[in-house]
Amino acid sequence: MEKLKESDLYSLEQYARIREEFRNKVIIHKKNRRLALGEHAALYFEDRLTMQYQVQEMLRLERIFEPELIREELDVYNPLIPDGMNWKATFMLEYADEGERRSALSRLVGIERNIWIRVEGFDKVRPHANEDMERATDDKTASVHFLRFELDPEMIESIGKGNRVHAGIDHPAYHSECDIPEEVMTSLKNDFV
C-alpha cells in the first residue's frame, strides 16, 4: 500500500470545505476495520485512508501548513500504513469507568504480546508491538498500543482463497477468541495490494 505524500493531502482551506463529507466517508470505512476482542478490547486496523484522516485532522488541529512540519506528520503516520505483507492496527483497551480501567491496566501488563492472528491451517502470528516507543511499565500497560502483524506469502495466498482467519488474546487475565467477520476480512484483503 502506497505511503502518503504531501500531494495526497488537502490544504487547510480545502479540508475545511470537505471535512464533513471526508469524515463521514472515513467513519463508514472504519466500521469494517474494527475487530472486537471480548468486551473491553479491540483492534482498529489502519490503512492509507485512516492515516490520511489522522494526518488531516492533526494539520487542522495544529494549523500546520509549513512543508517541513507536514513532512514530520507524514513521518509519524506513514509507518502505520500496511506495506502489502502485513496488517497494522491500533489496539485499544476500552473501559468506560476510570477506576475499572486503572485496575485493568495494572492486571494486563504485557497484553500487547498476547494478541494473535491465525490464518486457518497456519500457526498464530504474534504482533510486533509499539515499535515507535514503549507504552508499558512493569506496573501497568497503556490503553493504546500500535501493532504490526507480519504475514508470509503462503498465508496471504490462503486468505485470498477465502480461508478463515481467527484472532484472539491469551493473556492470563484476559481471554478472547473470534473468527474475523467476512465484512472485516473483505476490507483487510485490500491491505495486500
104 and 70 in a common domain: no
DSSP 40: S
Q: Verify that 74 and 131 share a domain, yes or no.
A: no
In a domain? residue 107 = yes
Range(s) of the domain holding residue 73: 1-31+48-81
Asked if residue 36 is part of any domain, the answer here is no
In a domain, 140, yes or no: yes
Alpha-carbon dihedral sign for residues 152, 157, 159, 164: negative
Mark whether 145 and 187 lie in a shared domain: yes
72 and 97 inside one domain:
no
The sign of the torsion formed by the CA atoms of 179, 184, 188, 189 equals: positive
Angle of helix 12-31 relative to helix 48-62, nearest 10 degrees? 140
Q: Which three cell numbers stand for residue 1?
A: 500500500
Report the number of distinct structural domains present in the chain: 2
Check: CB of residue 171 under 8 Å from CB of residue 91: no
Residues 108 and 19 in one domain: no
Please calculate the CA angle 40-22-189 and round it to the nearest 5 degrees: 60
User: 71 and 113: one domain?
Assistant: no
Asked if the structure places residue 70 within a domain, the reply is yes
On whether residue 40 sits in a domain, the answer given is: no
68 & 97 share domain = no
- 125 with 77, same domain: the answer is no
pLDDT of the residue at 137: 73
Model confidence band, residue 133 (pLDDT cutoffs 50, 70, 90): low
For 112-125, the pLDDT digits (tens) are 999 999 999 999 99
Per residue in 72-98, pLDDT (tens digit) is 999 999 999 999 999 999 999 999 999
Asked if the structure places residue 10 within a domain, the reply is yes
pLDDT, tens digit (0-9, with 9 covering 90-100), for 6-57:
999 999 999 999 999 999 999 999 999 999 999 999 999 999 999 999 999 9
Residue 188 lies in a domain: yes
Q: Are residues 136 and 160 in the same domain?
A: yes
Q: What is the pLDDT of residues 136-190, one digit of tens each?
A: 777 899 999 999 999 999 999 999 999 999 999 999 999 999 999 999 999 999 9
The answer to whether 167 touches 104, Cβ cutoff 8 Å, is: no
Q: d(Cα 91, Cα 93) in Å, to the nearest integer?
A: 7
Residue 42 forms part of a structural domain: no
pLDDT of residue 1: 82
- The tens digit of pLDDT for each residue in 58-68 reads 999 999 999 99
> Same structural domain for residues 57 and 109?
no
Is residue 74 domain-shared with residue 5, that is, in the same domain? yes
